Chains A and B, each alone.
Chain A
Amino acid sequence: MLTMIGKRLMFAIPSLIGVVIVTFLLTRALPGDPAAYFAGPAATKEAVEQIRKKLGLDKPLIEQFFRYTNDLAHGDFGNSLTTGQPVAAEIRNRLPASAELTLLGLIVSIVIAIPLGVLAATRPGSWIDHLCRITTTAGVSLPVFFTGLVLVYFFYFRLGWSPAPLGRLDVFYSAPPTVTGFYLIDTLIARDFEAFRSALSQLILPATTLAIFSLAPIARMTRASMLAVLSSEFVRTARASGLSPTTVIVTYAFRNAMLPVITTLSMVFSFLLGANVLVEKVFAWPGIGSYAVEALISSDFAPVQGFVLTMAVMYVLLNLVIDILYGVIDPRVRLEG
């Protein structure tokens, strides 16, 4: 197992190198001159030149690239031009916010979608099947920012059930001491239950928004793959052997049906990381998505590069987790490792 994980990690190295090169070139190809932006509209030509020199932008591209990779190797992602803060620190601060939101959204959606898909598959044509179809169609056809705004309009503006969509915590509470970076967990560790409730109530709407969006592919895939497995011959054998419906559905059908669902989950997780950018904007969430968008607008290289790199590393890790899960479920995959 360990050798398999090691091997998969080795395979990730070329793609990471590729990402480093592409992000570097892409950010250089972006329109706009960071030196001019940084110097401000009133700066003289000399001042802009000076800043360019200071940033190293006057050097040939290849030299800039080597300096960049050298810095990366030392864990230095550069400084943001707009905030002046080191990018690595900012991402470290903001990543937990995004991760907490995305993971909660994904968990909510799995908890709803998989049982829904299984029930729809075992009772085709029933009301639950139709419910599954309607929910999934609605889920994919509504863009996340729209769902987010509608939720805010009803639950905050009209009903007043949820707090103002302004960040991770109500202004009256102070952030818990950082252990994991996830407020839900950190507040519990600090035994600050008031803050926990506040953090949770802030999370509910954005997480629901993400969950509605990701519900559809998971539920559909679960339903389709359950239907295929339920009509397979080994399920017929299991039925003909008189196994109980629970054993047939859980042990025989569900575990086999999970393989394509896990693939879908990894794709949905990637979509969610992308969808985050919009949701974070709507809910003023201090995550890395909104950070990257702001940096992009101001031609701020370093944060964009840092963001793309972080995402690439996360995808690699995610794929590794998926591969391992596959191996756990399907013995045939284990052999090829």
Chain B
Amino acid sequence: MTAQPLLEVQDLTVEFTTRRGIVKAVQHVNISVARGETLAIVGESGSGKSVTSYAVMRILDRAGRIAEGSVMFSGIDVKAATEGQMRDLRGREVSMIFQNPRAALNPIRKVGDQIEDVLRTHVQQAMVSDHGEKAIEALEQVKIARPRERYHAYPFELSGGMCQRVVIALALACNPQLLIADEPTTGLDVTTQKAVMDLIVELTKRKAMSTILITHDLGLAAAYCDRVVVMEKGRVVETAKAADIFANPQHPYTKKLMRATPRLGVSLRDLLPEEEGAASAEPAPAVAAIAEGQQPLLLIEKLVKEYPRQGATATLGKLFGRKPPVEPDVFRAVDGISFSIGHGESVGLVGESGCGKSTTSMMVMRLLDQTSGLIQFDGEDIGGIQPAAFARLPQRSRIQMVFQDPTDSLNPRFTAARAIVDPIMQLGDIRGRDALRARCEELATMVGLPHNLLDRFPHQLSGGQKARVGIARAIALHPKLVVLDEPTAALDVSVQAVVLNLLQDLKARLGMSYLFVSHDLNVVRLLCDRVIVMRTGRIVEEGSSEQVLSDPQDSYTKELLTAIPHPPLQIH
């Protein structure tokens, strides 16, 4: 690298003024990006990776400021530049793609107009005769079908992946030299993620742009980037070529991150840091001891859930005076699926958003009524019981659930202890303060939650601790079946590793069965004995985890598997 780098961040420190004094979110960070290079900044939440990129664009919020160091972009001192100069830079020279594409677009402005706003700001009037055409071109470039129609669409009329394409079109409209992509695919399905990432790489390569990819996903960084910067708690701990860093990580934090990333050919224990992994004994092989001829714990037969079709499509058709499309009046979210879960078995339900996996779990939990079909739990037909009545039956306590978002699923006004004993107070038979407290502490010990945290409120706990509270609450009533709805999706990889191990241990110890709902095949493989792959309400493939993941039969399963970016890890 003899040429001057496009972006040179030297000794950058960013401070935020908060009520509790000054917080240094980023400290003495050095990053450089060469022309045409793709750089990944990897780190877990709170590592300062997003703040670094905001500092480069100088779009920190009011409380934040660049305290030390310098940011040079293509010979311009970003720290000293006037606001007007920065405005010229943003969007034209450096642009950004954000997480959560739907929120990143103005909800009440046509996407075409939003692209035009950027064009109008940066492109000389004389050069552009017709902005409309330019915006349509930009939409075409990101492979949006029928760009002329989509020009007039509002963000809420487009899917998540489509919105992200619009955001990319917006960012690349003025052919910038540097693109900063901040978790561009978090929250998107794996196949959509692959399509979006391929698109970003293809476009940036064609335009010879530099890219900074900010992500928590090592696999993504490995698959798409030349160099990787690892950040921890506001500091850069390691910078190396992508191939080198995965083959030979130097810093202990990098090693820990890599171990924790679920991948092929490892077991759950391998995810934990070496010393902890060794400390905990290898769990008893969790092969379900299903005696031949014994009834399964949960039996689902020809389960169907239909919703009346009254979505945007019908209304849109009416608006434009079109004839309503010839479609059935109902939408089948779950279309006649059958499966069973044995005692002590854990089954993964995998699929992309909208495939009906959550609807299925809601029906098993009796939170939704099925349209038709059989749900048999422990030999009893629970499918016919009204959801409202089910809440009072003894079966209720034997099916419990752990929810996706550990924060939102806890009452912010309840302490951890109160949240854990809540199901016991509703349905259990333990009465009296002391008895409840004793049971609560017992549960806390089981899930590895220190007792002194029991009197804290959710906002005083970390993500991993909140997840433990959610698990303790679910096992409080000795359930036979626990439905886990993406329990680790909102957690950092290192925390995810710990929580997955905890779930595995609890299952072996308490003899529970799991129905594990997830979109992440790697995670499912680690925790589940069997996997069921769903697509558009139907089961496309079913089998043991190893078999489905190593030798998929269905083309959709294959597509899902190839879409997952794999870090080329060689630990051990």
A256-B107 contact, Cβ under 8 Å, with A237-B170, A242-B88: yes
Q: Is the CB of B118 within 8 A of A241?
A: yes
| Bound Cα distance from A256 to B154, whole angstroms | 14
The interface-forming segment of B94-102, B125-133, B135-143, B298-306 is B94-102
A252 within 8 A of B: yes
- Sampled A-B contacts (22; CB under 8 Å): A231-B61, A234-B103, A236-B59, A237-B170, A239-B90, A240-B59, A240-B95, A241-B90, A241-B171, A242-B90, A242-B91, A242-B122, A243-B118, A247-B117, A251-B106, A255-B108, A255-B109, A256-B106, A331-B154, A331-B156, A332-B107, A335-B312
- Residues on the B chain within 8 Å of A236, using CB: 59, 98, 104
* A236, closest chain B residue (CB): B59
B121 within 8 A of A: yes
The total of Cβ contacts below 8 Å across the A-B interface reads: 85
- Residues on the A chain within 8 Å of B92, using CB: 242
Q: B326 CB to closest chain A CB, in angstroms? A: 21
Where the two chains meet, the residues of A that have a C-beta atom closer than 8 Å to any C-beta of B are 124, 231-234, 236-244, 247, 251-252, 255-256, 329-332, 334-336
| Bound Cα distance from A109 to B91, whole angstroms | 38
Q: Is the CB of B61 within 8 A of A237?
A: no
Q: A185 CB to closest chain B CB, in angstroms? A: 34
Q: B312 CB to closest chain A CB, in angstroms? A: 6
Listed from nearest, the 4 A-B pairs whose CB atoms lie closest are: A242-B90, A242-B91, A241-B91, A233-B103
Q: A152 CB to closest chain B CB, in angstroms? A: 44
A241-B108 contact, Cβ under 8 Å, with A233-B103, A335-B319: no
Q: A121 CB to closest chain B CB, in angstroms? A: 12
A237-B122 contact, Cβ under 8 Å, with A243-B117, A335-B315: no
Q: Is the CB of B121 within 8 A of A234?
A: no
A240-B87 contact, Cβ under 8 Å, with A234-B105, A255-B108: no
Interface class of chain B by DSSP: helix
* A241, closest chain B residue (CB): B91
* B156, closest chain A residue (CB): A332
In B48-97, the 8 Å CB interface with A consists of 57, 59, 61-62, 86-92, 95-96
Q: B171 CB to closest chain A CB, in angstroms? A: 7
| Bound Cα distance from A236 to B91, whole angstroms | 12
Number of B interface residues in the complex (CB < 8 A): 35
Known: A237-B170, A241-B121, A242-B122. 19 other contacts (CB 8 A): A233-B100, A233-B104, A236-B98, A237-B96, A237-B105, A237-B167, A238-B117, A240-B91, A241-B117, A241-B171, A242-B86, A242-B89, A242-B91, A243-B118, A247-B117, A251-B117, A331-B156, A332-B154, A334-B319
- Residues on the B chain within 8 Å of A238, using CB: 106, 117
- Residues on the B chain within 8 Å of A252, using CB: 106, 109
B316 within 8 A of A: yes
Q: B385 CB to closest chain A CB, in angstroms? A: 34
In B227-252, the 8 Å CB interface with A consists of none
Q: A3 CB to closest chain B CB, in angstroms? A: 9
* B92, closest chain A residue (CB): A242
* A334, closest chain B residue (CB): B319
| Bound Cα distance from A233 to B316, whole angstroms | 27
Q: B505 CB to closest chain A CB, in angstroms? A: 39
Q: Is the CB of B61 within 8 A of A243?
A: no
- Residues on the B chain within 8 Å of A241, using CB: 90-91, 95, 117-118, 121, 170-171
Q: Which of B62, B91, B108, B122 has the most CB of A within 10 A?
A: B108
- Residues on the B chain within 8 Å of A233, using CB: 98, 100, 103-104
* A330, closest chain B residue (CB): B108
| Bound Cα distance from A334 to B117, whole angstroms | 24
Q: A129 CB to closest chain B CB, in angstroms? A: 13
Q: B163 CB to closest chain A CB, in angstroms? A: 11
| Bound Cα distance from A242 to B156, whole angstroms | 24
- Residues on the B chain within 8 Å of A234, using CB: 103-107
| Bound Cα distance from A149 to B121, whole angstroms | 52
- Residues on the B chain within 8 Å of A243, using CB: 87, 91, 117-118, 121
| Bound Cα distance from A187 to B57, whole angstroms | 58
| Bound Cα distance from A231 to B63, whole angstroms | 12
* A331, closest chain B residue (CB): B154
A242-B121 contact, Cβ under 8 Å, with A332-B154, A335-B319: yes
* B61, closest chain A residue (CB): A231
- Residues on the A chain within 8 Å of B109, using CB: 251-252, 255
Q: Which single member of A240, A330, A331, A335 contacts B57 (CB below 8 Å)?
A: A240
| Bound Cα distance from A239 to B107, whole angstroms | 16
A244-B121 contact, Cβ under 8 Å, with A234-B103, A234-B106: yes
- Residues on the B chain within 8 Å of A256, using CB: 106-108
B289-318, CB under 8 A of A: which get 1 and which 0?
000000000000000000000001001100
* B53, closest chain A residue (CB): A240
| Bound Cα distance from A236 to B103, whole angstroms | 10
- Residues on the A chain within 8 Å of B121, using CB: 241-244, 247
Q: Is the CB of A332 within 8 A of B98?
A: no
- Residues on the A chain within 8 Å of B62, using CB: 124
* B108, closest chain A residue (CB): A330
A244-B87 contact, Cβ under 8 Å, with A234-B106, A236-B98, A238-B117: yes
- Residues on the A chain within 8 Å of B61, using CB: 231
| Bound Cα distance from A336 to B310, whole angstroms | 11
* B83, closest chain A residue (CB): A245
| Bound Cα distance from A331 to B319, whole angstroms | 12
* A253, closest chain B residue (CB): B106
Q: A7 CB to closest chain B CB, in angstroms? A: 13
| Bound Cα distance from A20 to B539, whole angstroms | 59
| Bound Cα distance from A256 to B98, whole angstroms | 20
Q: B317 CB to closest chain A CB, in angstroms? A: 11
| Bound Cα distance from A92 to B319, whole angstroms | 39
| Bound Cα distance from A242 to B174, whole angstroms | 11
- Residues on the A chain within 8 Å of B98, using CB: 233, 236-237, 240
| Bound Cα distance from A241 to B171, whole angstroms | 7
Q: A103 CB to closest chain B CB, in angstroms? A: 27
Q: Is the CB of B91 within 8 A of A329?
A: no
Q: Which of A238, A239, A252, A255 has the most CB of B within 10 A?
A: A238
| Bound Cα distance from A124 to B63, whole angstroms | 12
| Bound Cα distance from A234 to B118, whole angstroms | 13
* B103, closest chain A residue (CB): A233
A242-B87 contact, Cβ under 8 Å, with A233-B98, A237-B167: yes
* A229, closest chain B residue (CB): B106
- Residues on the B chain within 8 Å of A124, using CB: 62
Q: B492 CB to closest chain A CB, in angstroms? A: 21
- Residues on the A chain within 8 Å of B316, using CB: 335
| Bound Cα distance from A233 to B50, whole angstroms | 14
Q: A318 CB to closest chain B CB, in angstroms? A: 23
| Bound Cα distance from A41 to B1, whole angstroms | 107
Q: Which of B86, B88, B91, B156 has the most CB of A within 10 A?
A: B91
In B147-182, the 8 Å CB interface with A consists of 154, 156, 167, 170-171
- Residues on the A chain within 8 Å of B95, using CB: 240-241
Q: A311 CB to closest chain B CB, in angstroms? A: 32
| Bound Cα distance from A98 to B90, whole angstroms | 52
Q: B387 CB to closest chain A CB, in angstroms? A: 27
| Bound Cα distance from A240 to B90, whole angstroms | 6
Q: Which of A231, A238, A241, A334 has the most CB of B within 10 A?
A: A241
- Residues on the B chain within 8 Å of A242, using CB: 86-92, 118, 121-122
